[in-house]
Amino acid sequence: MARIDTPAPARRDPAPPRRHASPAGERRREVGLLNSLAHVGLAVWAIIILAPLLWMFLASFKTNTEMYLGNPFSLPKEIDFDSYVRAWNKAHVGRYFLNSVFVVTLSTAGTMLFGSMAAYVLARYKFIGNRVIYYLFVSGLAFPVFLALVPLFLIVNNMGLRNTFTGLILVYIAYSLPFTVFFLAAFFKTLPNSVAEAAVMDGASHTRLFFQVMMPMARPALVSITIFNIIGQWNQYLLPVALMQGEGAQQKWVLTQGIANISVQAGYEADWAALFAAVTLSILPMIVMYSIFQRQIQSGLTAGAVK
């Protein structure tokens, strides 16, 4: 009989083993998801912050009729800077603006000079009462400004500095010193001792060591805390209201007082466009300053952590 060969059954390759997700891959996916949620949250927060500012800026170019009878979210019919001229001249915002620039410039300079020297000594020198003085400075952060208004008013009044730029500048300096000393003392501790020792061996005095060696090394922190002090003092309202009182006080008002006065005295003839223009003028310098020094502020905040 003839033999019939039957074809052999095809061989089946074994199924590839299932790949189990590694812990590292799962962590990467979790981190990616958290980053996405964080970006969404930041985007929502940015919209919440920027939308009122944008509306205020657009409203400064509108008339009262456009604000009340038209769509409040519509664009202005024409770009007219007359509201800014009225705010600067008729509402005396220009005078208040220059007063604020004068006061904040001198008070910030004084704060950074005295605050940096105090922080340097407390951070780099050991002496009896070092920690006591440091904690006295830091304790100033625990007291809100309004709790000290009455004794502060009495002290400034008894010194004959009420309704003067000198009194306001000194109070601003005292108000800003606690945070400045707290921030800079932590940074000065991170600076290397070898550089200071080399400068001393070369004959540098304590004054020269501070101003020519340590200050340049602490530049990131100094820039950051300077911007914070400028913003805090620029936006201060309670202290000027309490201290700038008396005959001729309106001539020495700062910007926050002037804008509040525009809103209070508006009555039934409110010039909302001029008010929004004044607020825009008060906000714009701080936005420009932060935009210019944004990287320096961020590097100053993180410099102490990576040293």
* Highest mean pLDDT pick, 57-71, 80-94, 154-168, 275-289: 154-168
- Kindly state the DSSP code that residue 248 receives in the 8-state scheme: T
| 24 domain residue, yes or no | no
| 32 domain residue, yes or no | no
The pTM (predicted TM-score) of the whole model is 0.80
Terminal Cα distance for the chain, rounded: 94
pLDDT in tens, 265-295: 665 567 788 888 888 888 888 888 888 877 7
pLDDT score at 35: 84
Domain containing 277: what range?
91-306
Of the pLDDT bands very low, low, confident and very high (cuts 50, 70, 90), residue 118 is: very high
Of the pLDDT bands very low, low, confident and very high (cuts 50, 70, 90), residue 199 is: confident
- Rounded CA separation 265/268 (Å): 9
For 165, other C-beta atoms within 10 Å of its C-beta total 16
Type of residue found at 121: V
Where residue 111 sits, what CATH number does that domain have?
A: 1.10.3720.10
pLDDT score at 19: 56
- Rounded CA separation 73/52 (Å): 10
Q: Please, are residues 257 and 98 in contact by the beta-carbon 8 Å criterion?
A: no
Question: Stretch 190-196: mean pLDDT, rounded?
Answer: 86
- Rounded CA separation 269/261 (Å): 14
Question: Stretch 83-110: mean pLDDT, rounded?
Answer: 90
Of the pLDDT bands very low, low, confident and very high (cuts 50, 70, 90), residue 7 is: low
Helix ranges (DSSP H) in 78-148: 82-89, 93-124, 130-139
Q: Say whether pLDDT at 194 is over 90.
A: no
Sequence-distant (6+) residues with CB within 8 A of 244 are 163, 168, 252, 253, 254, 257
| 35 domain residue, yes or no | no
pLDDT score at 261: 80
- Rounded CA separation 192/2 (Å): 98
The count of domains in the chain is 1
Q: In Å, how far are 58, 97, 115, 222 from 284, measured between CA atoms?
A: 14, 12, 27, 23
| 54 domain residue, yes or no | no
Of the pLDDT bands very low, low, confident and very high (cuts 50, 70, 90), residue 177 is: very high
More confident residue, 32 or 55: 55
- Rounded CA separation 204/257 (Å): 47
Sequence-distant (6+) residues with CB within 8 A of 85 are none
| 77 domain residue, yes or no | no
Exposed/middle/buried for 141, CB within 10 Å: 0-12, 13-18, 19+? exposed
pLDDT score at 105: 95
Find where tokens 């921030």 sit: 183
Q: Which of 100-114, 171-185, 242-256, 258-272 has the lowest mean pLDDT?
A: 258-272
| 144 domain residue, yes or no | yes
pLDDT in tens, 15-40: 555 555 566 667 777 777 788 888 89
Find where tokens 């007063």 sit: 99
pLDDT score at 1: 47
| 76 domain residue, yes or no | no
Sequence-distant (6+) residues with CB within 8 A of 215 are 116, 222
Q: Which of 230-234, 252-256, 266-270 has the lowest mean pLDDT?
A: 266-270
Query: Quick one: tokens of 193?
Result: 């001792």
Q: In Å, how far are 103, 107, 152, 222, 299 from 252, measured between CA atoms?
A: 10, 15, 19, 29, 37
Type of residue found at 185: A
Helix (H, G, I), strand (E, B) or coil at 38: helix
pLDDT score at 202: 85
Question: Stretch 227-242: mean pLDDT, rounded?
Answer: 90
For 76, other C-beta atoms within 10 Å of its C-beta total 16
| 127 domain residue, yes or no | yes
Of the pLDDT bands very low, low, confident and very high (cuts 50, 70, 90), residue 166 is: very high
